[in-house]
């Protein structure tokens, strides 16, 4: 049987690199398995993937992550969207 993959994927935009780094640090501090990527085409676009254990509530983590980014970024972050993937 194949290993299940459970992740929260997050997209957001900001023109402030230091703010993106602060968001990355906070997400890495709170969650394990955080992959943080900046778009090569649109430098203000960021993509985050957080691996979630089988025992964790995927939807709760999705809401927490989305709210955390909005709280940390305020008006300087836009286009925040998080969703869950289970395969």
30-75 pLDDT per residue, tens: 998 999 999 999 999 999 999 998 878 999 999 999 999 999 999 9
- Three state DSSP letters for the chain: CCCCCEEEEEEEEECCHHHHHHHHHHHHHHCCCEEEEECCCCCCEEEEEEECCCCCCHHHHHHHHHHHHHHHHHHHEEEEEEEEEEC
Stronger pLDDT, 32 or 14, i.e. the higher one: 14
Residue 19: is its pLDDT beyond 90?
yes
pLDDT at 4: 80
Kindly report the pTM of this predicted structure.
0.88
- Report all structural domains of the chain as residue ranges with CATH numbers, in order of start: 6-53+63-76 (3.30.70)
Residue 20: is its pLDDT beyond 60?
yes
């Amino acid at each position: 049987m194949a290993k299940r993959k459970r992740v929260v994927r997050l997209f957001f935009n900001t023109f402030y690199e230091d703010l993106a780094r602060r968001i990355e640090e906070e997400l890495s501090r709170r969650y394990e398995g955080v992959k943080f990527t900046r778009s090569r085409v649109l430098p203000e676009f960021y993509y985050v993937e957080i691996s979630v254990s089988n025992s964790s509530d995927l939807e709760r983590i999705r809401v927490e992550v989305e709210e955390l980014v909005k709280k940390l970024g305020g008006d300087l972050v836009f286009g925040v969207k998080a969703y869950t993937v289970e395969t």
